[in-house]
Amino acid sequence: MEDKDETLTAHLEALRSMLVKSLLSLAIGIIPLFLAAPYCISWLIKVMIGEHDIALNYFSPMEVFILQIKTAVVLDLLVCSPYIAKQIWNFVLPALHDDERRFIKSLVISSSGLFILGSLFCIFFILPLLINFGLSFMTEDIKAMFGISNLISLALWLAVVFGLMFQFPLITYSLIRFALVSYESVKNKRPYIFVTILIIAALLTPPDVVSQTMLAVPTYLLFELGLYFSRKYAQKQTAKSD
């Protein structure tokens, strides 16, 4: 009984240490990243607006300050996420077998890479496309006037959303890898999964067909990529059992 109590106490202490270190890293990072937020905002504006001669507006005295705080929080989460992932990894590591450790380590690295890829895809391709689409409706009588808070908040939100949705191949592969679902059942449910992706994309993006489509199509293609690697894994397992 004492051994169990000591083990539980050790686990709780490890959990407390992991949470404290993670929160401390976020607290330390928020200050320099708040100072870097204006430069990040200017960079995002240049990427999205490009060569268009458009003035961005703000409509309350504190709007830009609050926007800088919001940008700093997002940057803080992104910059500190590798360190936080390392702390979580150190916490769960003792409970894993060698093959599970290798798989989850590769999963964490792949997940980080896909998140970065999804965010960059959104920033350099989707956001300029949305801006150009919106500007295409300008006429001599209708002029575009963008609020900086709406524009940057949209950019930050979509960058995070694309980063998360680009996790689909890993989710698919992991579910099949750990035998939570079978390859055949996932393959047969493709139409339902496509509809689900469309619904998620509609919920996470602004109410326009362009951004919804631009999120749903790459996500489904990535799902198919995850399904392809899952099929390869299933074939290997079948060959081993034979």
Each residue's pLDDT tens digit, 152-163? 888 888 888 888
In the chain, count of helices (H) and strands (E)? 9, 2
Same domain for 127 and 9, yes or no, is: yes
- Does residue 136 share a domain with residue 71? yes
Please say if the pLDDT value at position 33 is more than 70: yes
Buried b (16+ CB within 10 A) or exposed e, 127-160: beebbeeeeeeeeeeeeeebebbbbbbbbbbbbb
> What's the pTM value of the predicted model, to 2 decimals?
0.77
pLDDT of residue 87: 79
Q: How many domains does the chain have?
A: 2
209 compared with 71, residue with greater pLDDT: 71
Within this chain, do residues 180 and 240 fall inside the same structural domain, yes or no? Answer: yes
Kindly state the percentage of the chain with pLDDT values over 90.
Answer: 11
How far is the C-alpha of 178 from the C-alpha of 237, rounded, in Å? Answer: 12
Do residues 4 and 94 share a domain? yes
How many C-beta neighbours within 10 Å does residue 211 have?
Answer: 23
Q: Are residues 9 and 22 in the same domain?
A: yes
**Are both 10 and 53 inside the same structural domain?**
yes
Answer yes or no: do 190 and 238 share one domain. Answer: yes
Q: Is the pLDDT of residue 100 over 60?
A: yes
Residues 2 and 54 reside in one and the same domain: yes
User: 75 with 152: CB under 8 angstroms?
Assistant: no
**Residue 67, pLDDT score:** 92
Residues 212 and 107 in one domain: no
For 154, half-sphere exposure in the C-beta direction (CA atoms, 13 angstrom radius) is: 18
Q: Supply the angle between the helices 98-121 and 148-165 in degrees, to the nearest 10.
A: 150
Contact of 50 with 15, CB cutoff 8 Å: no
- For residue 79, give its domain range: 1-165
Identify whether residues 157 and 186 lie together within a single domain: no
Domain boundary among 141, 165, 189: 165
Cβ neighbours of residue 181 closer than 8 Å, sequence gap 6 or more: 175
Between the alpha carbon of residue 181 and those of residues 55, 83, 192, 227, the distances in Å are 51, 31, 15, 12
Instruction: Find the distance separating the first CA and the last CA of the chain, reported in whole Å.
Output: 45
Asked whether residue 73 falls in the same domain as residue 177, the answer is no
Which of 9-13, 29-33, 108-112, 116-120 shows the highest mean pLDDT? 29-33
Q: Of 138, 165, 192, which closes a domain?
A: 165
Confidence (pLDDT) at 206? 76
Q: Which of 39-43, 130-134, 193-197, 230-234 has the highest mean pLDDT?
A: 39-43
Q: How far apart are CA 156 and CA 145, in angstroms?
A: 19
pLDDT at 63 over 70: yes
pLDDT category, 95, cuts 50, 70, 90?
low
DSSP 205: S
Is the pLDDT at 8 greater than 60? The verdict is yes
CA distance 32 to 25: 12
Which of 218, 177, 175, 226 lies closest to 197 in space, CA to CA? Answer: 218
**Percent of the chain at pLDDT exceeding 70:** 90
Confidence at residue 118, expressed as pLDDT on a 0 to 100 scale: 87
* Residues 158, 218 within the same domain: no
